[in-house]
Amino acid sequence: MPDTTPVFLEEFINLHPADLADRLQRLSLEEAQRVLGELPPALAAGALAELEHDRQRELSVTLPVQKLTPLLTELPPKVVADLVPALPPSARRATLDALPAGQRQRVQALLRYMPDTAGGIMSDRFIMLRDDMTVEQVRELLRAQAQEERAEDIAYLYVTDAAHRLVGIVSLRDLVFRRAERRMSEIMKHDVKFLRANDDQEKIAQQFEHYHYLGLPVLDREGRLVGVVKASDALEVAQAEATEDMQLMVGLSGEERALTPWHKAVRLRLPWLYINLGTAFLAAAVVNLFESTIAKWTVLAVFLPVIAGQGGNAGMQTLTVIIRDLALGELTTGDGRKALFKELLLGLVNGLAVGLVVGIVGYLWKGSAALGLVAAGAMVLNQLSAALAGVAIPFGLKALRVDPALASSIFVTTVTDVAGFFFFLGLAMLALRWAGS
């Protein structure tokens, strides 16, 4: 058979699927489509599975069902289940129907779970053994399955009773060394750590960080084994979650990358800038209340950035600590009062320390003891507002069942701006009245 590989494909066909995905990520959509369409289905499928979700969606959507299906049949059910929800609603049904029945059932079973739960992250490729099987029977079973599943995916073998309830775990190592006639129930380890299908991403990351396993079994409500979450998948999810929180905090969607096209980034960022603008006008309205005070004492305007800057920074410090610990499950809802108390105490101490310096600078720079006192007092009150907002806003968002990180820095700086200006200009007005009387 003559070699009919087109020249432009040669550089792609010998790559690892993950590396091929990297290359496809950097091509234009049209080029990526062309390469994917020409590659052998197994390789194209592997690369498709490794692509970032945006690109995966763009490419899956533009491939017709009859081109997409051969790729999907090459992929494990877990990967197909991750891909299907990205398709336009009209194509989902047709794509599922085009899959072989066995694969379709496994995909549909996985699709029943929410994407950010253990059920949504788990793979259904794992080895399940009955507790009355012998070592010899298990060796036979594995030999028969050796073709289907990739060897490197398997770290543990799970043992269930007749009702598919997880009762123990054995290692591949046990199969090498144990006598052929021993039963699983005799050699298995009984104390197995597991996840529940509806455990959320944070719980999952926490369990892996805590126990250092290579994989954790997932049980449904009845205690039946339904899947396995691998440590590397949990790693990816934890990383996505942590960086998503960083983005959500400052008013980004969690999806933007440094090289996302600018017109798409505008759509993602501008709404948050408008929300921030609305809150900035709130702060402006507070300053506006005191316009006559500023007209009499213009130097107050010079100190506005100091008030806003310190309050904002302190608020962000508190917020970042709280959001991290909420995200990683190290802080529970019940710990809220304890955290608030710590932050208020800290705000008081930091407020006094910073207020003292601001007061002294105010006095030395502008020669006004009154300005120094007003600025110092406002600084203490503003640090306390920052502490309150930095704890209350993420806990409040969580109570509303919204991601505690969502736009929280915008809300916190609104509070610190509004409160800071109000205290600073209000105290200044009182000082002017007192001096003027």
Name which of residues 353 to 382 contact its own copies (CB under 8 A). Answer: 353-354, 357-358, 361
Residues numbered 42-61 forming contacts with its own copies, rule: CB under 8 A: 50
The nearest distance, CB 429 to its own copies, in angstroms, is 14
CB-wise, 130 or 269, nearer to its own copies? 269
**Which of residues 96, 371, 376, 410 is near its own copies by CB under 8 A?**
410
Quickly count: other Cβ atoms within 10 Å of residue 21's Cβ.
20
Residue 27 makes contact with its own copies by CB under 8 A: no
Q: Verify binding: residue 13, its own copies, rule CB under 8 A.
A: no
Residues 252-291 that bind its own copies (CB under 8 A): 252, 256-262, 265-266, 269-270, 272-274, 276-277, 279-281, 283-284, 287-288, 291
Residues 141-160 that bind its own copies (CB under 8 A): 142-143, 146, 151-152, 154-156
With CB under 8 A as the contact rule, which of the stretches 73-81, 93-101, 166-174, 220-228 interacts with its own copies?
166-174
318/345 Cα distance (integer angstroms)? 12
Is 177 near its own copies (CB under 8 A)?
A: yes
In order of 18, 132, 182, the CA distances from 188 in angstroms are: 36, 11, 10
| Candidate segments 64-72, 82-90, 101-109, 241-249, binder of its own copies by CB under 8 A | 241-249
Could you tell me whether strands 215-219 and 225-230 are parallel, antiparallel, or unpaired per DSSP bridges? Answer: antiparallel
Minimum CB–partner distance for residue 59 and its own copies (Å): 19
Q: How many residues bind its own copies (CB under 8 A)?
A: 122
Whole-number Å distance between alpha carbons of 33 and 64: 11
Alpha-carbon gap, residue 148 to 126, rounded angstroms: 11
Contacts of 129 (CB under 8 A, 6+ apart): 138, 141, 157, 158, 159, 160, 170, 184
Rounded Cα distance, 43 and 14, in Å: 9
38 or 209: CB nearest its own copies: 209
For residue 334, state whether it binds its own copies (rule: CB under 8 A): no
Q: Give Rg (Cα) of the chain.
A: 30
Q: Which of 98, 246, 370, 432 binds its own copies (CB under 8 A)?
A: 246
Instruction: Please report which helix (H) or strand (E) contains residue 354, including its range.
Output: helix 336-366
Three-class DSSP category at 257: coil
Kindly list the distances between the CA atom of residue 99 and the CA atoms of 46, 84, 145, 220, in Å, as whole numbers in the listed order: 17, 12, 21, 26
Candidate residues 10, 37, 236, 430; the one interacting with its own copies per rule CB under 8 A: 236
Question: Does 209 participate in binding its own copies (rule CB under 8 A)?
Answer: yes
Q: Which of 84, 322, 393, 431 binds its own copies (CB under 8 A)?
A: 322
Between residues 43 and 287, which has the closer beta carbon with respect to its own copies? 287
Q: How far apart are CA 5 and CA 183, in angstroms?
A: 52
